[in-house]
Structure 1
Amino acid sequence: METLPENSSPVPSSSAMWKNYRVVSGHHGAVRSVAFDPSNSWFCTGSADHHNKNMGCGTGVLKHTLTGHIGQVRALAVSPHHTYMFSAGDDKQVKCWDLEQNKVIRSYHGHLSGVHCLAIHPTIDVLLTGGRDSVCRVWDIRSKSQIHAISGHNETVCSVLTQGRALAQHPQERCFASASYGDIKKFKLPKGESGDNGTVVLGLEEGIPSNKRNQGHWIARLPYTLSHGSRLVTCEGDMTIKMWKQ
């Protein structure tokens, strides 16, 4: 097997079959979001049951259950710089969790409706959030102050970069990927050229049973590798988390 460069991530083959090797249960509502620890040792999930759960990447074993939201948890992100995890949901709340104490240490107030997405700036202590109030808000992580309120959308803001649930930039190539219910597609920058309606990076129908497709899948690929292999995690409307490999 080809040796991968350090801190690189393999590109899934569009023709390879993906095998579901583990199903993780524990949530009591549809699982709405997933995010990975930058060290690739664990991942976290957010659910319609109002809970966040932290699980081991290799085993899927539950490490912690974090409670504090009073609505569906729609978005999660783990800081690459601090021992913080951020969560947001239908209760209009954006929370910062200290993972050494497993408790909320800051809340960011300002959204007028449910919060559907969030992202952490890669180099400075800034958090971006967006939601049903059609506004993207920029926060100072430390002071909890709102730095900007970026308006212009007329409907729900569902994704925000630097990183989001449905959009991701390639670390080296000038391109980005978008995820939908059916597949993941690759687009070229700066014009968003997509060839034949987007290059399919992964057709979910190839590996995911057809009877699960209509339940909705929230997809995340591990940022690094496990035993030089690629892994996928899907968060399901059937209250499970599924782990896949080629």
Structure 2
Amino acid sequence: MSSSFFIKKKENPKFSKKGSKPTVSKRKNDGDSGTTKKRVKKLNSRYNEEISSDSETEGPTSHKKRQEDEEEVYEETPQEKKLRLAKLYLEQLREEEEKKAEEETFEDDLVAGRLQDEVLEQKGKLQRLIAKDLLPPETSEIRLLRGHKLPVTCVVISPDDKNIFSAGKDCSVIKWDVVNGKKLHTIAGGRRGTEARHVGHTAHVLCMAISSDGKYLATGDMNKLIMIWEAEICKHLYRFTGHKGPVSGLSFRKGTHDLYSASHDRSIKVWNVDENAYVETLFGHQDVITGLDSLSRQCCVTAGGRDGTVRVWKIAEESQLVFHGHEGSIDCIQLINEEHMVTGADDGSVSVWSVNKKKPLTTVKMAHGCHGNAGMEQPHWITSVAGLQNSDTIASGASGCSGNSTVQLWKCGRGFRGLERLFTVPVTGFINSLKFSNSGNFLVAGVGQEHRLGRWWRLKEAKNGLYIIPLKRQSPQQEEPNIAE
């Protein structure tokens, strides 16, 4: 084969410009064509290496320009654009559906939790464990509201915890603002014999109740009368008559405007406040009824004083269950939930009951200690009790002739079996009424120089008023639910 191909090439490979092909010089006495082919292949290999080396040494500007050129070369077709936008839209829809599903799951969990709590509450098996976190208040944190001239006998708290209503032996009813402690309304008491022309009470007010929606306030007095008021503005609405003795207990059925009343005439009466109507009367106690309470079920519980019984009244069936346990006069009672209640007696004992058992689940004797000389000690008289609804926390108030009265906070054991002391708050005077706020943030004690039902002795050093006791917690208010046995 002729070697004329190599004669046209230069001796050394040079590049006229970047990216041009190299030229090869003529070689004398080359061998056969096989040698020539190997030489060309070797030069081409060198050419590829040099091109690669040049591309690596390109500056950032050149590299960027080449990328832009490549992007300009690629043009998205309408079909590809539609496909890309469709995929993007489907991705957004999928994200929205996932977010919506998470929100629905969260809401379902909340609803399920509320429904479960409501079911447990109706069954009387809901017990929120908050007592373990309560801390005793400082003396400086306890507020005293004064406005009654004579002993305070009863207190209630509005459902939103913004107002307190109190009444006393001065026949007056006062509405208080919780935050600043100021009086918002005062229904003055009248003199005996002015019942025909006076709008209000003319005898000692012994009990009161407020409906669960905060619309109606009911008050009962020694003159056998029940007064119904519009709670917001303290306007008088109705007057119920029918009891033959002092009205000693009142309670609205939760979620309704049905009113239950108890009297020293040993009867229970049912009223419909919306219709301003009397419904029925129930009998059973053998002594004066000293206390009454109810929740959402169509029934109420009562304390029978010296007949030594606690009774559960089934209104629809017109029947009653009778319970025995205290040795003395049972003077106060309150429901903790639909199936458990707490009572106190003048023998110094505090008991917790189940409506399904005829005997107390637990009883603490001499719950507030004793007073008197050695060998002549007498237990402090339990004059009031309160239960924080659907929780494991209760309170009791005891009074003694020496004036060393106390409010005791208790923790209920699991299944309400057992009572454990938490802390004691000293108060001077007869603790005639105790009420927990609905939130459980404070406790109100109505205090006076005399007991609400009599004048056996008088504590001159006591002050007539309301003590607002804050209930602080050592951890954030995360109530742990528990199912009572």
- TM tier relative to shorter chain: 0.7 to 0.9
* Residue identity matched to 1:66: I
Question: Which residue of structure 2 aligns with residue 231 of structure 1?
Answer: 442
Superposed CA deviations along residues 132-176 of structure 1, whole A, max 9, x for unmatched, are: 11111111213332211111222211222216894333347x422
Question: Which residue of structure 2 aligns with residue 102 of structure 1?
Answer: 234
Distance 1:202 1:108, change over 3 A: closer
* Residue identity matched to 2:439: Y
Aligned runs of 1:199-210 on 2, under 5 Å? 201-202=394-395, 204=407, 206-209=423-426
Distance 1:242 1:84, change over 3 A: same
Distance 1:70 1:10 in 2: 44
* Residue identity matched to 2:433: W
Question: Which residue of structure 2 aligns with residue 55 of structure 1?
Answer: 176
Q: What is the CA distance between 1:188 and its match in structure 2?
A: 3.5
Deviates more, 1:93-102 or 1:163-172: 163-172
Equivalent position to 1:240, from 462, 465, 477: 465
Which blocks of at least 5 consecutive residues in structure 1 are unaligned? Answer: none
Equivalent position to 1:222, from 437, 442, 448: 437
Distance 2:285 2:224 in 1: 18
Question: Which residue of structure 2 aligns with residue 39 of structure 1?
Answer: 160
Equivalent position to 1:195, from 348, 362, 368: 362
Distance 1:239 1:180, change over 3 A: farther
| Secondary structure, counterpart of 1:142 in structure 2 | coil
Superposed CA deviations along residues 80-106 of structure 1, whole A, max 9, x for unmatched, are: 235211111112110110134422111
* Residue identity matched to 1:62: K
* Residue identity matched to 1:219: L
Aligned runs of 1:24-173 on 2, under 5 Å? 24-67=145-188, 68-81=200-213, 83-162=215-294, 166-171=332-337
Q: What is the CA distance between 1:78 and its match in structure 2?
A: 1.3
Instruction: Count residues in correspondence.
Output: 234
Contact 1:19–1:207 (8 Å) recurs in 2: no
Q: What is the CA distance between 1:9 and its match in structure 2?
A: 7.6
Contact 1:14–1:202 (8 Å) recurs in 2: no
The structure 1 segments of at least 4 consecutive aligned residues displaced by more than 6 Å after TM superposition are 5-10
Bigger radius of gyration: 2
Distance 1:13 1:62, change over 3 A: farther
Distance 1:187 1:14 in 2: 24
With structure 2 as the length reference, what TM-score do the two structures score?
A: 0.43
Superposed CA deviations along residues 98-140 of structure 1, whole A, max 9, x for unmatched, are: 1344221111110112111101112333111111111111112
Distance 1:197 1:100 in 2: 40
Contact 1:9–1:223 (8 Å) recurs in 2: no
Distance 2:211 2:265 in 1: 25
Q: What is the CA distance between 1:196 and its match in structure 2?
A: 4.5
**Which protein has greater RCO, CA pairs closer than 8 Å, 6+ apart?**
1
Distance 1:220 1:12, change over 3 A: farther
Which blocks of at least 5 consecutive residues in structure 2 are unaligned? Answer: 1-112, 118-126, 189-199, 296-300, 302-330, 368-393, 397-406, 409-422, 449-462, 472-485
Question: Which residue of structure 1 aligns with residue 136 of structure 2?
Answer: 17
With structure 1 as the length reference, what TM-score do the two structures score?
A: 0.81
Superposed CA deviations along residues 27-79 of structure 1, whole A, max 9, x for unmatched, are: 00100000011111111001100001111223322111123101111111111
Distance 2:130 2:221 in 1: 31
Q: Which has the higher helix share?
A: 2
Distance 1:195 1:78, change over 3 A: closer
Question: Which residue of structure 2 aligns with residue 177 of structure 1?
Answer: 342
Contact 1:9–1:224 (8 Å) recurs in 2: no
Contact 1:75–1:117 (8 Å) recurs in 2: yes
Q: What is the CA distance between 1:12 and its match in structure 2?
A: 4.0
Distance 2:355 2:424 in 1: 29
Distance 1:209 1:31 in 2: 17
Deviates more, 1:93-102 or 1:201-210: 201-210
Report percent identity of matched pairs: 15
* Residue identity matched to 2:360: E
* Residue identity matched to 2:341: F
